[in-house]
Chains A and B, each alone.
Chain A
Amino acid sequence: NAGVMQNPRHLVRRRGQEARLRCSPMKGHSHVYWYRQLPEEGLKFMVYLQKENIIDESGMPKERFSAEFPKEGPSILRIQQVVRGDSAAYFCASSRRTGGPDEQFFGPGTRLTVL
């Protein structure tokens, strides 16, 4: 499967725990994006990363949320001390960025439920 991979597909956490969401981009893609889809809302941009660099984190909440894309391995979205309002579907997308249009390809998402 050459598509964007995300795991886990479903994650249940209790309030106060940490959630780690992983994303492996498509082969040949070096740009990764994270979006959040809340119930009854559209997809909202969170962060844009390249290998070892955060390019744009203007959509990330200021506290408890962090993201990384290390030189080796998947991109990680980390949510510390989760609260019920963090329950949502989190999608990762990747692109090649050749200077052309911003075509992003999405993974299947991680559904986070905070009890």
Chain B
Amino acid sequence: TQLLEQSPQFLSIQEGENLTVYCNSSSVFSSLQWYRQEPGEGPVLLVTVVTGGEVKKLKRLTFQFGDARKDSSLHITAAQPGDTGLYLCAGGRSGTSYGKLTFGQGTILTVHP
């Protein structure tokens, strides 16, 4: 079983602070997706990283894929209350396992004004 461990599970911070969420595995993934999920809604795709060491930026969000493609991080700069939500990482595989995303447990982020 390929597991993705996300940490921290809960994060409560003040507006303007920076934060980092980690996603770790002992398995190699061909791609790594980050999603954000609001209560009562489905996950919304934020970014996909595919190359070891790749860094992608989305406004105040920075995503990094580890060199060995086993881990990833999401860094948010100057967090805002609108960033509040559940953040999920998901690993994708190639070949016969294509299509079977493995999700982390998620990080519940609360940003207080």
Residues of chain A at the chain B interface (Cβ within 8 Å): 4, 6, 31, 33, 35, 41-45, 48, 55-56, 58-59, 91, 93, 95, 97, 100-109, 111
B43 contacts A106, CB within 8 Å? yes
Q: Report the nearest A residue to B100, measured CB to CB.
A: A45
Knowing A101-B30, A102-B31, A103-B48 touch, does A109 contact B41 (C-beta < 8 A)?
yes
Contact among A97, A100, A103, A106 with B42 in the assembled complex (CB-CB below 8 Å): A106
Known: A43-B103, A104-B45. 6 other contacts (CB 8 A): A48-B99, A97-B98, A101-B92, A104-B101, A106-B45, A109-B42
B105 contacts A42, CB within 8 Å? yes
Knowing A91-B43, A102-B30, A106-B44 touch, does A42 contact B100 (C-beta < 8 A)?
no
Total residue contacts A-B, CB cutoff 8 A:
73
Bin chain B's interface residue count: 20 to 34
